[in-house]
């Protein structure tokens, strides 16, 4: 049986460590529909850890009214999180929210292939500035395989961005929760493997 909240097997539930802390920025997750119910999705760890985090389901042509309203809200300085590219170099920025507005990082929450499609084929996002996380981190996420170590999972991207804006306390909180999730999930996989092979 899985916990309804953290979605981990109940014997390794991490809900007692699940609480939000304030941050100097906000995260808006634009989540691919295939990611919404995956127990290995790490976007929800940001929701569980960082206050004011919002999650929107991605649609190529029919974004939700809530998302469109948020993008138009003048209190916020929204910015897409994505690696730098020559064909949109004019949109790249080094920081967000320097004009007094609340900095918002929009993270495309899906596989790398899904995220590229979301970035390229969402007309309502094409006017937004783009920021690339500045980090030397290598991914420690072990629940899905990536051929490139610097392809961070969603939660690791948020940790890097929190460090980038100088919010180490929030970064540490999210990273600790992520590490607990990662190790607990791996432990259950090992147990299942032992049961399967009769060890």
**0.85 exceeded by the pTM?**
yes
In the chain (199 residues long), the average pLDDT of successive 10-residue segments reads: 82 91 98 88 95 96 96 97 94 90 96 93 96 76 46 90 96 95 74 46
Return the domain boundaries, the chain. Answer: 22-82+97-139+149-196
Q: Strand (E) positions, 110-171? A: 130-131
pLDDT score recorded for residue 165: 94
């Amino acid at each position: 049986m899985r916990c309804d909240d953290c979605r981990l097997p109940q014997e390794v539930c991490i809900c007692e460590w699940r609480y939000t802390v304030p941050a100097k920025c906000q995260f808006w997750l634009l989540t691919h529909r295939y990611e919404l119910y995956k127990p290995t999705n790490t976007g929800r760890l940001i929701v569980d850890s960082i206050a004011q985090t919002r999650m929107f389901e991605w649609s190529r042509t029919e974004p939700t009214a809530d998302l469109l309203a948020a993008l138009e809200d003048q209190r916020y300085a929204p910015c897409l999180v994505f690696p730098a590219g020559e064909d949109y170099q004019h949109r790249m920025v080094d920081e967000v929210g320097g004009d007094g507005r609340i900095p918002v990082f929009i993270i495309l929450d899906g596989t790398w292939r899904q995220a590229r499609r979301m970035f390229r084929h969402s007309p309502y996002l094409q006017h937004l500035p783009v920021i690339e996380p500045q980090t030397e981190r290598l991914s420690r996420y072990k629940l899905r395989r990536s051929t490139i170590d610097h392809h961070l999972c969603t939660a690791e991207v948020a940790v890097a961005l929190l460090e980038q804006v100088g919010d180490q306390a929030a970064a540490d909180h999210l990273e600790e929760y992520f590490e607990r999730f990662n190790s607990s999930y791996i432990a259950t996989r090992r147990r299942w493997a032992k049961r399967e092979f009769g060890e």
